[in-house]
Amino acid sequence: MEGVFLKVLILLAAAVMASTALRRIHIPPILAYLCVGLIVGPSAFAVVEDLEAIRFLAEFGVVFLLFSLGLEFSLAKMMALRHTVFGLGGLQVLISCIVIYAVALAVGVSIEEAIVIAGALSLSSTAVVSKELSSRNELHKPHGQLSIGILLFQDIAAVLFLILVPAFSGSDHEAIFTSIGLTLVKGVALFALLLACGRWVLPPLFNEVAKAHSEEVFVMTVLLVSLLAAALTHHFGLSMALGAFIAGMMLSETNYRHQIEADIRPFRDLLLGLFFISVGMALDIHALLKNWHWIVLCSAVLIIGKALLIFILTRANKHSKRDSITTGLYLAQGGEFGFALFALAFKSGTMSEPVSGILIPTIVVSIALTPWLIGIAPKVSTKLFGEAKFVPQNDYKAQLNKASESLSDHAILCGFGRVGQSVSRFLSNEKLPYIAVDIDPFRVNEASIAGENIYYGDASRIDILRALGLERAKLLVISYKELDVAKKVLHTIREKGYDIPILVRTSDDSSLEELLQAGATEIVPETMEASLMLVSHVLTMMGTPPSSVFNHIENARKQRYQILHGYYHGISSKTVDEQGNALEQLHAVLLTEDCYATGKQLAELKLEKAGNPVETIKHQNGEESPPSTSRPLEAGDTIILHGSSEQIERAENLILAG
């Protein structure tokens, strides 16, 4: 047991270091895990030689990956993209399988092995491609929808392959089709049984669990459901991953889908990392060096062949040349399910070591090249077809100029999420002119159909802002949730010398000074304004005159919410914000007879070393003194500190021990 723990500890430490280092050069974490496995595995430094214990844990990584995939598998989503999913996706997988199967048979592998190879190499990387599409805001663009639709069918096909691979184990050529038929029948029966459980058993179960208001019980229930489904399919001779996928599907239609996904993610990522490490450990570095030319050739053929096939299919389906070549380049790689299929086939004896020793590195190389392929897609499109970059087909800057030419003293709304839309409604009610811009084409399309004065564009570009009538505008509102985007827009405007008033929305007060220095005229922190609104209602309901309430609220705003800064933290309170900046907090220090500060004046404590975080001093008799007081401190006095956790800790040490 101690040996297994040490091995896992070594692998996790190596994975953390490798993924951190490779992330800086934009290498996907999957490749970092594979590199770790290769380096520490038996064929390299042999830090960890026994794969069995690692593989046992690693199998659960694939289980949770399929479970997460099942959560995303929505019947409604599939029907909305049915032409792409079953048309393009089905043809791509079918033709890819036929071609790869024929090539595999031609080089002398067995029928079973050829089927596994065809299935594995026909799939693309859902994890890498969907992440790239999301980070580039391209999910709702034509090539993004095409990519997601094809990936969706590939995910369905992956589940079918996971059903079929165990059927090859121990079957001769005559009995293989009977074995496949029986396996498919068992798969369909279990699928129906588990879906029935998901329809009538799981919703009331999770309702009862949710009423307990216990995160631990909820997480344990999620793990129990997924692992029970995996164990059930495994008991009937099918893949555990299949059961996990069906379990995810069962829960995808419930109200708890997003909570389940958030709870399962840490387990999935950790164990999936171990799975990819185990794949890397199975690689033979000597075989890699010996067969490097075959690996390069197979990688080139795979990437070019899949990109060309997807291009031809999408063009035949009457999509533009730009979208066709882009989709082809996005989906040209192998996928993480290929690793899972090869691992399952190798375990069942279907896959030989020499073949997997060439094809697994082929998938690795193709995934490694994916960010580069996605990056060059616009250039390839322009070079081959002379088309523009990824922008709407019409000239949106000309549209902006035309839309804003009649506007003056108007408001420019940068971002049209919930906050931007709320502002626009009040402006419309007052018949005040405005124009909005957003980089989400789906949102722009939805809002413009509804009659909103919104257009597509990047508000951090000065040419877009000028097209919106920046010189004639009276106010600019930045409603983006992301702080770095807001700062980018501010720098763009102020660097060009524009002095237009800029109102910035933030989630909290942690970046007030930073945004003011960047050029913001006013900042509206949501949490602070929500507190002020609550305070105004409390004071009014307690009988405070409306004029006094108004004065209190306005004074708080004029003082940049100083009265609201910091609060007494609880056991679950955060000490840093989402950007890692320290949050202000309040902390009370009660003086006793033995405290260093007792009997001394505040000035003698040299609290400037901690940034002078004293808010006020409360004496035993109920009186309060400001930080500037010269009154000696007494036992029983309470010093209220206000600052970051580091400032408070240093000040408390000076007060208690000097």
The model's pLDDT over 379-403, given as tens digits with 9 standing for 90+, comes to 888 788 764 444 444 455 677 777 7
Give the integer Cα–Cα distance in Å for 168 and 496.
68
* N residues, the chain: 658
Domain extents in the chain: 2-385, 398-520, 585-657
Model confidence at 203: pLDDT above 50: yes
For helices 52-72 and 142-164, give the axis angle rounded to 10 degrees. 130
Domain boundaries 398-520, CATH class: alpha beta
Classify burial at 643, counting beta carbons within 10 Å of its beta carbon; exposed 0-12, middle 13-18, buried 19 or more: buried
Summarize pLDDT for 93-120 with one digit per residue, the tens: 999 999 999 999 998 888 888 989 999 9
pLDDT value at position 391? 42
* Position 332 confidence tier, pLDDT thresholds 50, 70, 90: very high
Contacts of residue 284, defined as CB under 8 A and 6 or more positions apart, other chains included, come to 43, 353, 357
Average pLDDT value for residue range 180-202: 79
Q: What secondary structure letter does DSSP report for 607?
A: G
β-bridge mates for residue 582, sequence order: 576
For helices 90-106 and 292-316, give the axis angle rounded to 10 degrees. 150
CATH no. of 585-657: 3.30.70.1450
Give the integer Cα–Cα distance in Å for 26 and 441.
26
More confident residue, 580 or 87: 87
The one-letter amino acid at 189:
A
Q: What secondary structure letter does DSSP report for 416?
A: -
User: Are the folds of 2-385 and 398-520 the same?
Assistant: no
More confident residue, 123 or 402: 123
**SS3 label, residue 254:** coil
CATH no. of 2-385: 1.20.1530.20
Q: Give the C-alpha distances (Å, rounded to integers) separating 337 from 94, 274, 343, 614, 650.
A: 17, 15, 10, 58, 52
Q: What percent of the chain has pLDDT over 90?
A: 16
What are the tokens at 334? Answer: 């192998």
pTM of this prediction exceeds 0.75 = no
CA torsion through residues 509, 514, 517, 521, sign: negative
Closest CA to 254 of 218, 216, 215: 218
* Position 461 confidence tier, pLDDT thresholds 50, 70, 90: confident
